[in-house]
Amino acid sequence: MSNPQEPHQPVQPAPWPQQPQQQPQAQPPAGQFAAAPGYGASAQHAAPGQPATPGKYGVPGQYGAPGQPPADGPFGLPGEQPPARGRRRLWTILGVAGGVLLLVILGVVILVNVVAGPTNHARGLADDFTKLVINGETSTAYDEYLDPALQEQVSKETFIAGIKTLEMDNTCKPTYNEVTANTENGTKAADVVGLITCSGNKNIDLVYRFEGTDELKMMNIKIKPKA
């Protein structure tokens, strides 16, 4: 007795070994560079609108964000303006020094005027008087420059006659070798010593003394040929 045959079963081929699926490599976001393995980026470019992130050693040449002053180095940046306080202190020092210098100059000017003023005044009186007698205006010199006390001692006629004997002319020129002035008890005094030189080697000595409180007048006169 035969066994009934089972229905024919199709033979299935053995499955091929399944290959492992490779993970897709992550791509860097747009606008960035991936770092090489084992090295690390010195700086990454940030996405648009984001500030750059410094790398391990910072971004070379970075000077801060736009619109902000760069950070000061250990000695300051070249061309850096000095602090306002330093400028004020400098101007204060210069102002004080200028004030002291101005006071010194004013003091010198005042001292020169105090010392040289009476001397120059006496020199001017002597020069005006001498020029009058040289030019023959002896009467005017007598009236305007001699003190009344001296006029009592020497009359005008005697004075005019004495000057005439000197025979001075327009070639005669006065020179004042010594002029001194002082004030004592409110009375001013000045002494003038000089020489009148004329043509023909004629020399005439002169000695004047002026005294007064407000106005100086001639108190003594000696004018004679040089010995």
What whole-number distance in Å separates Cα of residue 152 and Cα of residue 181?
25
Nearest to 115 by CA among 180, 206, 205, 192: 180
Are 190 and 209 a contacting pair, CB within 8 Å?
yes
171 near 160, Cβ under 8 Å? no
Please, what is the angle between helix 138-145 and helix 156-164, to 10°? 130
Q: Give residue-wise pLDDT tens across range 14-41.
A: 554 555 555 555 555 554 444 444 444 4
Q: What is the pLDDT of residues 160-175, one digit of tens each?
A: 999 999 999 999 999 9
Q: What is the mean pLDDT of the chain?
A: 73
Secondary structure class of 45 (helix, strand, coil): coil
pLDDT interval class at 93 (50, 70, 90) = confident
DSSP-derived secondary structure letter, 224: E
For the domain spanning 116-225, the CATH number is: 3.10.450.50
Q: How far apart are CA 226 and CA 208, in angstroms?
A: 15
Entry pTM: 0.51
- Residue ranges covered by each domain of the chain: 116-225
pLDDT digits (tens, 9 = 90+) for 140-151: 999 999 999 999
pLDDT of residue 99: 76
Average pLDDT over residues 219-226: 93
Tallying the residues shown for the chain, one arrives at 227
With 0-12 CB in 10 A as exposed, 13-18 as middle and 19+ as buried, what is 210?
A: buried
Burial class from Cβ neighbours inside 10 Å (0-12, 13-18, 19+) for residue 122 reads buried
Whether residue 32 contacts residue 47, with contact meaning beta carbons closer than 8 Å, is answered with yes
Question: At 107, which amino acid appears?
Answer: G
